[in-house]
Structure 1
Amino acid sequence: MTHINTLDPGASPLDYYGYELRRYREAAELTQRQLGDIVNYTGSMVGQIETARKLPTQDFSERADAALGTGGALSRLVELVMRSQLPGWFRQVAELEARAIEICTFHTHLIHGLLQTKAYARAVLGSLDQTDLDDRTEVRLARQRIFEKEEPPVFWAVISEAALRQEIGGPEIMRGQLAQLLTFEDNPRINIQVLPFSAGVHAGLQGSFDLFRFASDPTIVYTEGYGSGHPTANPDTVKDCSLRYDHLRAAALSLKDSAELIRRVMEERYGEPRASVA
């Protein structure tokens, strides 16, 4: 197998994962094909992961852990692998998401990445670049595992109504994305409010931003440009954006009314029948 004897486990988290997978497989006296048959992946896929030419998924890692008796080692490692595949300028943001006890976001034209479906994320990421699209999509979705932690962060999202109506990927993908937002209705740790067009002038007209709050570290404000991110703990900026966010939440619809607007947009714009009310 190409590079299998020269793979440097210290080169990157992806290389280390491949090295460990090969080590566990050989200790179990299994060929790549045999392991593939057990975990329902091809032997070729196992080989590509072992040689750091293909990203492992969470599903693959969990199956390989079970097959090889690793005690969950690969599943724990895959999160680090996924984070290492993010654009360099965005890795700090993923670390902030993983450490924060509260995340407050305001987005004007897209659904936040932590709430995106696979189809929606794929459509967004593939708008100009189809290269390694499957892997890049998996990397983005892996960030959502912060909600599976024993103590997940409290997440507040104020979303402009424009993001609901901006058709990304077609009606079917948008129906799925809006349906995904509605699945959080009864989750007190994931709160979604829609800022309606009727709000008019509002405190977020300067653009999207995120607030990350921590148990003991200073709050950080994050804004984003083309191919660059700008985190800051500047007290004046944090104070200003915190005030803006309070006003945005006040101007947005309630959680209940936001869910109702999402349902209405699904019906009127994307053809999803609304559930009847008893």
Structure 2
Amino acid sequence: MESEPTAELIRAQLRRLRLAAELTQEDFGKLVHFSGSQISAIELGQRPFDRLFLKRADEVLNSDGLLLGLLRIAELHGQPNWLRPWLDAERAARQLRCYHPTLVPGLLQTEHYARAVIRADDLLSDDEVERRLAVRMERQAILTRPDPPMLVAVIEEATLRRADESFRGIMTQQVSHLLDCVKRGGVLVHVIPADASVHVGHAGPITLARGVEGEWLGHLENHVGGTTIDRDDEIATLLARWEGVRSVALPKGQSEVLMKEVMESWTI
């Protein structure tokens, strides 16, 4: 994904780094498996670049991920208007609460699971799938920064068990990742057992963020977009709905035991 003026900045930085490394376009092209004319076309904006090319360029030019980082920033800033307020709230949050009735929350998805979920939309091209995947993975960086928010996620047992033979490997990796996140700290995962009764969360996903001043924001998504919620009465409703969802989930220890049982059931 390229967007002006960020693409122009990336091309300028690419040329600057190449010249600083005292590499001709031909020499640099050989190192990244391109011809000299292709490198010239990329630097002049006559040929598009992709993530793989920028990754190779960063490695060859010892640029510490600069080029790929610029692309990631462009991808985040290129998000639709309805999502930008929530991305800002997510990055600034001190606490996050996530529930989805049918999916693992995006902040806890593995790359393979996320790609499968995004690719389920037949309207998306392969390039768009990879662009959305990159953005989703980049958003997860908030969980590994020096001052991460506390993330509390509620997941349905049925979501964890949704694994036919072709999807079982992905789900095994996904559940293992959830357990690793919990073990690392800063993340709590509570599982709603399959025998739980109908509850308020079945009405749809709930995501909440608490800022540094203690204020709450909510986010609701649907098939065509999403909305960031900030009105006090609506936030009060979402917090009450969250408590309703959380109340039917298992405690932390029992949730971990259940996740391990799910994985073990696939190896029998």
So what's the TM-score if we normalise by structure 2? 0.82
State how many pairs are aligned: 259
Structure 2 counterparts to residues 200-219 of structure 1, below 5 A = 200-216=197-213, 218-219=215-216
Aligned-pair CA distance for 1:208: 0.7
Q: Distance in 2 between matches of 1:207 and 1:123?
A: 21
Aligned mate of 1:152, from 138, 148, 151? 148
Q: Does 1:143 align with 2:139?
A: yes
Aligned mate of 1:264, from 258, 261, 266? 261
SS in 1 for 2:250: coil
Q: Distance in 1 between matches of 2:17 and 2:145?
A: 26
Higher RCO (CA-CA < 8 Å; seq separation 6+): 2
Could you tell me which runs of 5 or more consecutive residues in structure 2 were left unpaired when the two chains were aligned: none
Q: Distance in 2 between matches of 1:196 and 1:212?
A: 25
Q: Does 1:29 align with 2:22?
A: yes
Aligned-pair CA distance for 1:161: 1.7
The CA deviation string for residues 210-269 of structure 1, in whole angstroms up to 9 with x for no partner, is 00110027311110111211111010111111122223223211111111111222232x
Aligned mate of 1:249, from 237, 246, 249? 246
Aligned mate of 1:179, from 170, 176, 180? 176
Output the aligned Cα RMSD. 3.1
SS in 1 for 2:189: strand
Aligned mate of 1:92, from 85, 88, 96? 85
Structure 2 counterparts to residues 160-199 of structure 1, below 5 A = 160-167=156-163, 170-199=167-196
Match of 1:67 in 2: 61
Could you tell me which runs of 5 or more consecutive residues in structure 1 were left unpaired when the two chains were aligned: 1-8, 274-278
Aligned mate of 1:112, from 89, 105, 129? 105
The CA deviation string for residues 170-201 of structure 1, in whole angstroms up to 9 with x for no partner, is 11111111111111232331111111222213
Match of 1:4 in 2: none
Aligned-pair CA distance for 1:149: 1.5
Q: Does 1:77 align with 2:70?
A: yes
> Which deviates the most, 139-148 or 79-88?
79-88
Q: Distance in 2 between matches of 1:116 and 1:47?
A: 38
> Which deviates the most, 9-18 or 89-98?
9-18
Q: Distance in 1 between matches of 2:187 and 2:174?
A: 15
Aligned-pair CA distance for 1:272: 3.5
Q: Which amino acid aligns with 2:58?
A: A
Q: Distance in 2 between matches of 1:215 and 1:155?
A: 14
Aligned identity (percent) is 29
Query: Residues 242 and 46 of structure 1: is their aligned pair in 2 closer, same or farther, counting only changes over 3 Å?
Result: farther
Match of 2:34 in 1: 43
Match of 2:94 in 1: 101
Q: Distance in 2 between matches of 1:11 and 1:108?
A: 38
Equivalent pair of 2:107/2:139 in contact (CA under 8 Å)? yes
Q: Distance in 2 between matches of 1:83 and 1:35?
A: 29
